[in-house]
Each structure stands twice: as structure tokens, then as C-alpha cells.
Structure 1
């Protein structure tokens, strides 16, 4: 009986809510023959829009969950790519460090070889009376190289002599002058005597000391000229412009 009363009051309230929508000429009321069935059907029809709304909301939630899942998958993929890129950068960094290390070692080895060659050159220069370098020939008591094919200016000739293991030559005495000029033709040859630092003070480029022997030819330019380098021929010495080009004579030692 209590259950029946419950459905009756539900039907009564629904009738009052919807009564105004009915025709004013019609007096209607709900006759409950089967209260449980009738009220249940009515409630289901009234709640149907709520069920539809809930279903749509559930679909949206499912779609949102799928989107979030896809986003997480993309983030995981991007994270993997970033990790791979970081590994590649680390590998490249290691390779660059190895290359720089090899370059530094090669530079050090090159400097060591250069120092060893310099030391060897100093040793050879200091013992020139015992060891004659291949390009030099014994003339009198010392070793000389006479260039007969290529002409150069004075500075370049001195550089060439250093590359061969010596310097532009200086003549130490009359005996040596005779021995050297006896090997020459009628050409001119640069030697290492010059007054580039101070006019009139002739020094040897090999030793930096004053020239030990000066035998000027029959002709010589007047003092005060800018002819600061000295060339040699069979007839003696002549001061000349340093940028002129001639053959040249190198000496192996650096004592004179």
C-alpha cells in the first residue's frame, strides 16, 4: 500500500506540472490502473534527455582521452628523437676532441722536428771543418756553394743560402779570394758583405762581424750612396743596389 501511494503522488505532481499545457476546455486527470508500470514509463521518458546528454558527454570524454593518449605518444616520440639527437651531439663532440688532440700532437711533433733540424744545423755549422753538406765544395780551407744558374736579389740569395745550410759568403783573406775567383767566370756574384745598418761599415751577414777582407775593384761608387750590398767578380768587389739580381756564393760556416 505504501508503494502504491508513492506512485500516486508522483503522478499527481506530474499532472499539476503539465496541467496548464492541456486544453482549458478539457478537465483531465491521470487514472492510475497500473501505477508501477505507468509511473516507471513516464519517469523514463522524462529522464531520456538526461541519458542522451550523459551519453554525448561520455563520447566527448572518450574522444578527449584518445586525444590525450595520442599526445602522450607524440611526446614520447619527440623525447626519443631528442635523446637520439643528444647522443649524436655527444658523439660529434667526442670526435672533434679527438681530431683537435691529433692536430695538437701533430703541431707539437712538427715543432719538435723543426727544433731538431735547427739543432742539427747548428751542430753542422759548428763543425763545418769536419762535415761538408752535399751542395758545398771545399775551396781552400772552407766550404762554399757557387750558384751559376739562377739570379736573385741580395735578400733572396741570403735566404736561399740559409735553406742550403749556410749564408752568403765573406772572404777572409787574399788567398781565399784567389781560390774562389779562380772558380768563377766573368759574371757577378752576390756575397754576404754589406753596410745596410750603417753607411761605410761593412759587416758579414753570416757572423755580424766587420768584414775581414775587402778588395775593391778598379771602379767603385762614391761614399754616401744607397748601394748597400756587395757583389764579387774576378776583378774585385763592388757595392750595388740590393734589389739587383745576380748569381751568388754561399759559405757553410758562420764564423766569418
Structure 2
């Protein structure tokens, strides 16, 4: 387009200059040969310009097409980018929606977990409260047990002290010569025919002597011992009724007696819990009564 405009302007300029030149020469010379000689260089130059214009016009469509093709290519590339962007936006939207759903699910799950945790904490607090109360009760019980233990320890220590005193007395009594006790059968006995005591008093004296109230085990022992007793006196032996069971227990062994030789209608009578030996037979009497007694040594032949 630019080449055509330049060519037209040059042609107009040349036409005007030629017209002026010929008008001057017609007044003096003939126009034929002179004008041709003057115009020839111009015509040649115009021919050159014409070729240049044609060359310019021939190149211009190719450049334009190339530019158009380049623009089409850029448009295609841009369209591809836009399509990719739209695809990515769709993907991003879908992904965002998916993420939002996941976040909502996570929030819901977290909410449920928080609620569950809150319930667990409430239960734990309740258990801790109950545990505290239980611990307090256990501490009170433990204090009571400790107090009871201390009291029992004090009692045991007092008993130990008394037992040690008794052991000392027994040791002194055990130093008594054997002839202090009289051998009857295979055992040794001390028969008290002078002083009387209630059943408990008789038991204490025998223990102080390092012996115990006589504990008859069979009829042979009974007959052998009875032959040495005063027939008009009664003697305490180690049997005593245990009220809870109604059984006669040996104070020597702590268990139920194994040998009994009762008078007729014995044992009988209320508050007659202690056993006395009279004329080779056993009878029950109130333990508070005063009677003679028989001590049996622990050693035998």
C-alpha cells in the first residue's frame, strides 16, 4: 500500500515537470526528438520504480500472510492456554469442592471426637471425685486399722510383759526338786490337801508351780490317782464347760476333753461349769466354790 502511494505521487510530480519543460521548448524547437531525449531517463527511472512497486506489492501479501499465520498461531496458543486454564479452573473448583467436603467431614469428625472427649473427661472427673471420696474413706479405714493395730500391739506388749514375768516365775518353780511332786503311775502330781481355792485360783497356783491342773486321760490314771486322795475331799481338775458350745474343754490342751467318768445324773445343774473329782468320779460344781486341787507336772518317766 505504501509503495502504490509513493508511485502515484512521483508520477504526478513528473507529469507537472514535463508539462512545464515542453511548453518552454515548443516556442523555440520541435517537440519530437528533443522531448524524447529529455523524457527517456525519466521513463527508465519510472520503469525501475514500477519494478520496485511491483516487488513491494508482491512481498506485501506474503508478509501479511506470514503475520496473519503468526497471529493465528498465537491465537491458537492463546486458545490452548485458555482451554487449559478453564480445565484447571474446573479441576480447581472440583478439588476445592472436594476439599471443602473433606474439611466439613473432618470438622464433623473432630466435633464428634471433641464431644466424646468431653463426655470422657466428665466421666473421668466423676470417677476422680468418687475416687477421692473412696480414697478418703480408705484413709479413714486405714487410720482406724492403724489405731486398732497400735492398741493390739500395746495389749500384746503388756501380755508379753506378763508372760515374761510368768516365765520367770515358772523358771523358778521348775527349779523345784522332783520330790516336790509325787510320782503316781508314770506321772508326777502335787496334791493340795491343806489350802482350798476356787477353780481359777487353783489353776493359777498350778501354773505358778510350772505345772497344770490334772488332766486325766484314761481310767488307769484315774484309779491310780484316786487311791492317793482323801475320800471325803473334792479336788478340782482341768475340765471346764464352754458356755457357747456346752462342751467341757481341757484347760491344759485347749480342746474338748477325751476322758470322762461322771457320777449318775452328771453333768447337771445351771452355773455348774467346773469339774471336780470326788471318790473316783467326776461331778460339776460352780467355779466359784473353794476346793482342794491336784497339779500335774509336765515331765513324765
Shorter-chain TM band: 0.3 to 0.5
Normalising by structure 1, what TM-score?
0.47
Normalising by structure 2, what TM-score?
0.40
More helix by share: 2
**Higher RCO, 1 or 2 (CA under 8 Å, sep at least 6)?**
1
Higher radius of gyration, 1 or 2: 2
